[in-house]
């Protein structure tokens, strides 16, 4: 079966690291010291990881950080940008794709796009999906050189606009301060600037990662804390957690993969 081959590629094992030091720029990821999740801190770890492999246009979803098998879902075509969000507000995340200004959503996660929306499409536009307008359904967001354009689900005909960051920044949407409201964030050479008020000002600044990092991702938290900054480096997921908590490192995927979604528990 084709699946078996992918499983071998993906099941690289999982470990918890105990270091609190954020990764240095462009250095190799430090090998985690230990140990299976659970023997170290059972309450603290990764609950869901989703990555996309452009080489075969396939999403891989893994629940838990103890080497569980990943499920896979073929969806997309070369050049597509993957998304993973709860577009209809039923509590379940499903895959989406952005293809040169067209958004393709598979509401039933069955590899078929049953919702198609045109939004964006300028060269360099970066698509994201998160519930900006707070109705429980993920909105379509375009980051364009520091401008955030939001096609909200409350009123798709009235686009929302925010200004935060600049050209070259890598945008991230998550609730970093745990307020219940999605914050605008940009990653710039290892620094995270977070606009919790959506007024164009960085109220939080974090150092995590380096200038060589291309895949910052927010770790959504199922517990009481806000989102944490995380990095994907050639198959290693590195999650910075709250102060004094151990950093989490989990192997899942490989170089060339794109991290799409990450959820942790605290
Ligand atoms: Ca859903
Ligand atoms: Ca919404
Ligand atoms: Ca917030």
pLDDT digits (tens, 9 = 90+) for 211-239: 999 999 999 987 778 999 999 999 999 99
Tell which residue, 222, 215, 225, 217, has the closest CA to residue 262.
217
In this prediction, residues 160-188 reach a mean pLDDT of 97
- Residue 177 Cα to ligand 3 middle (Å): 5
- Residue 156 Cα to ligand 2 middle (Å): 9
In this prediction, residues 93-120 reach a mean pLDDT of 97
- CB contact at 8 A, 20 and 32: no
Ligand nearest to the CA of 88: 1
- Residue 92 Cα to ligand 1 middle (Å): 4
Q: Give the per-residue pLDDT at 221.
A: 85
Tell which residue, 67, 71, 69, 105, has the closest CA to residue 86.
105
In this prediction, residues 31-39 reach a mean pLDDT of 32
- Residue 126 Cα to ligand 2 middle (Å): 18
Ligand nearest to the CA of 184: 3
Q: Give the per-residue pLDDT at 212.
A: 96
- Residue 182 Cα to ligand 3 middle (Å): 5
* Res 21 pLDDT > 50: no
Q: Give the per-residue pLDDT at 33.
A: 29
Q: Give the per-residue pLDDT at 244.
A: 57
Q: Give the per-residue pLDDT at 38.
A: 36
Q: Give the per-residue pLDDT at 246.
A: 67
**Res. 195 pLDDT band, cuts 50 70 90:** very high
Of 40-54, 103-117, 168-182, the poorest mean pLDDT is in 40-54
Phi-psi region of 153 (alpha: psi -120 to 50; beta: other; left: phi over 0): alpha
Ligand nearest to the CA of 221: 3
In sequence order, what E strands does 7-64 have?
Answer: 45-53, 58-63
- CB contact at 8 A, 82 and 66: no
Q: Give the per-residue pLDDT at 245.
A: 61
- Residue 128 Cα to ligand 2 middle (Å): 12
Q: What gap in Å lies between CA 260 and CA 52, rounded to an integer?
A: 7
What residues pack around ion ligand 2 (CB closer than 5 A)? 131, 133, 135, 137, 139, 153
Q: Give the per-residue pLDDT at 102.
A: 98
In this prediction, residues 198-206 reach a mean pLDDT of 97
* Res 10 pLDDT > 70: no
Computed over every residue of the chain, the mean pLDDT equals 85
- Residue 176 Cα to ligand 3 middle (Å): 6
Q: What gap in Å lies between CA 235 and CA 199, rounded to an integer?
A: 35
**Res. 43 pLDDT band, cuts 50 70 90:** low
The most confident of the ranges 35-44, 106-115, 237-246 is 106-115
Ligand nearest to the CA of 94: 1
In this prediction, residues 180-200 reach a mean pLDDT of 97
Q: Give the per-residue pLDDT at 252.
A: 96
Q: Which residues contact 92 (CB under 8 A, 6 or more apart)?
A: 86, 109
């Amino acid at each position: 079966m084709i699946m078996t081959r992918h499983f071998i590629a993906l099941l690289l094992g999982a470990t918890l690291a105990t270091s609190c030091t954020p990764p240095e720029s462009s250095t190799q990821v430090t090998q985690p010291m230990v140990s299976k999740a659970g023997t170290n801190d059972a309450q603290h770890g990764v609950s869901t990881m989703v990555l996309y492999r452009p080489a075969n246009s396939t999403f891989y979803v893994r629940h838990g950080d103890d080497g569980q098998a990943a499920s896979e879902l073929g969806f997309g075509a070369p050049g597509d940008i993957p998304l993973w969000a709860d577009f209809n507000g039923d509590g379940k995340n499903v895959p989406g794709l952005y293809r040169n200004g067209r958004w393709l959503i598979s509401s039933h996660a069955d590899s078929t796009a049953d919702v198609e929306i045109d939004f964006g499409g300028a060269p360099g536009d970066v698509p994201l999906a998160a519930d900006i307008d707070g109705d429980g359904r993920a909105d379509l967001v375009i980051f364009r050189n520091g401008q955030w354009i939001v096609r909200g689900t409350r009123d798709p005909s009235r686009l929302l606009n925010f200004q935060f960051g600049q050209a070259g920044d890598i945008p991230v949407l998550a609730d970093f301060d745990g307020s219940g409201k999605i914050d605008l964030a940009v990653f710039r050479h290892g620094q995270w600037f977070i606009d919790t008020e959506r007024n164009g000002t960085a109220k939080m600044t974090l150092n995590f990662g380096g200038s060589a990092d291309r895949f910052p991702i927010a770790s959504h938290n199922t517990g009481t804390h806000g989102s944490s900054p995380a990095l994907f480096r050639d198959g290693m997921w590195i999650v910075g957690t709250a102060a004094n908590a151990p950093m989490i490192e989990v192997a899942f995927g490989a170089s060339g993969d794109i991290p799409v979604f990450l959820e942790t528990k605290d």
